[in-house]
């Protein structure tokens, strides 16, 4: 790609709604008076509260109306799936989920509830209650999860010289929007064992920095990891291998059902990749953590700035890095 092509790609990604949607986090945390130094350390995929030599983990997800209306059953499934991914991204294991449902009637709520129930059964994590309102004017959905970790993977410990490793399950397809789902046809045992990789990596000491790939895709998640850790990240475009028929641009902003970015010391990279490969999950180093605050896209010959979080904060949590 030419420098102009890479610059144009960076600009399209920088202005895409799924990337810019995360800017709302800064407005909320400022209104709540939260920073990266607050209890639970906002900026991570879950709040981590020290307890008994380990950590209690708490996370939650809410869903935009358009997503719920497009596919209510899948929204219910995702309410469980994405919460469990957040806990795994922290090096934890999920213990229980609670849901919050709003609907005009029980009939309207039925597909949401069935999706929640089906995902709970598939992943083996119980639904233990929540909030229900069947007199609301429209469908609404949120869910929260509780988990535990012995050792953490966090957004705050990527270090210059680390390799940026992307582990994404390609055994799926797009369900709606830019949501790439490899979970619905997978047997429950595979779903559970795949998530178990993350706490195993944390407990083995092979990595302590990373995030799950969420709204904003690989590029938005890399930016959040960079800002929280106070580093830059150079992404190597030729190293990215999307599923067949998917463009690099769409893949960079896609939200996979199983996808994680990990910052790993070079001497541990082969061991980390081997664990994902053994589970049939696509994994490779797609870049490197650098000094500074720039997240760039490049192909070895040309590069372009995607975002400089020192100049334009993304999460704006204040003095994020440890």
Q: Which superfamily, per CATH, for 3-22+154-308?
A: PurM-like C-terminal domain (3.90.650.10)
Three-class DSSP category at 209 = strand
Strand pairing partners for 58?
Answer: 47, 146
Percent of the chain with pLDDT over 90: 88
100-124 per-position pLDDT tens digit? 999 999 999 999 999 999 999 999 9
DSSP string, 224-280: HHHHHHT-EEEEEGGG--PSTT--HHHHHH-EESSEEEEEE-GGGHHHHHHHHHTTT
214-232 per-position pLDDT tens digit? 989 999 999 999 999 999 9
- Write a three-state SS string for 104-126: CCHHHHHHHHHHHHHHHHHHCCC
Q: What is the mean pLDDT of the chain?
A: 95
Quick one: which of 180, 3, 201 has its CA closest to 92?
201
Confidence (pTM): 0.95
pLDDT > 70? residue 320:
no
Quick one: which of 315, 322, 321, 319 has its CA closest to 26?
315
More confident residue, 25 or 157: 157
- CATH number of this structure's domain 47-149: 3.30.1330.10
197 vs 90, 182, 258, 277, 320, CA distance in Å?
Answer: 11, 16, 11, 11, 27
Quick one: which of 192, 184, 210 has its CA closest to 289?
210
87 vs 93, 140, 197, 217, 294, CA distance in Å?
Answer: 6, 23, 12, 18, 28
Query: What is the location of CATH 3.90.650.10 in the chain?
Result: 3-22+154-308
Per-residue burial over 229-240, b = 16 or more CB atoms within 10 Å of its CB, e = otherwise = bbbbbbbbbeeb
Query: What is the location of CATH 3.30.1330.10 in the chain?
Result: 47-149
């Amino acid at each position: 790609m030419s420098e102009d092509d890479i610059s144009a790609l960076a600009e399209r990604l920088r202005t895409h709604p799924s990337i810019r949607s995360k800017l709302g986090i800064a407005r909320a945390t400022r209104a709540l008076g939260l920073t990266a130094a607050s209890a639970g350390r906002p900026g991570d995929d879950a709040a981590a509260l020290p307890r008994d030599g380990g950590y209690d983990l708490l996370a939650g997800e809410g869903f935009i109306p358009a997503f719920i209306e497009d596919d209510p059953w899948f929204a219910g499934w995702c309410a469980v799936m994405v919460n469990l991914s957040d806990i795994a991204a922290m090096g934890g294991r999920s213990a229980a989920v609670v849901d919050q449902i709003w609907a005009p009637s029980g009939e309207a709520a039925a597909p949401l509830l069935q999706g929640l129930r089906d995902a709970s059964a598939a992943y083996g994590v119980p639904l233990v209650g929540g909030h229900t309102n069947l007199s609301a004017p429209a469908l609404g959905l949120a869910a929260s999860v509780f988990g535990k970790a012995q050792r953490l993977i966090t957004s705050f410990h990527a270090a210059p010289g680390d390799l940026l490793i992307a582990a994404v399950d390609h055994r799926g397809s797009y369900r709606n929007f830019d949501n790439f789902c490899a979970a619905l046809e997978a047997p429950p045992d595979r779903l559970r064992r795949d998530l178990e990789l993350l706490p195993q990596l944390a407990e083995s000491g092979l990595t302590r920095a990373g995030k799950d790939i969420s709204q904003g895709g690989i590029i938005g998640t890399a930016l959040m990891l960079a800002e929280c850790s106070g580093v830059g990240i150079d992404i190597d475009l030729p190293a990215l291998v999307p599923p067949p028929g998917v463009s690099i641009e769409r893949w960079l902003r896609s939200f996979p059902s199983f996808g994680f970015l990990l910052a790993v010391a070079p001497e541990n990279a082969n061991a980390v990749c081997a664990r994902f490969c053994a589970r049939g999950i696509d994994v490779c180093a797609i870049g490197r953590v650098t000094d500074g605050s720039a997240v760039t896209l490049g192909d070895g010959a040309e590069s372009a700035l995607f975002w400089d979080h020192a100049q334009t904060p993304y999460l704006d949590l204040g003095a994020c890095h440890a």
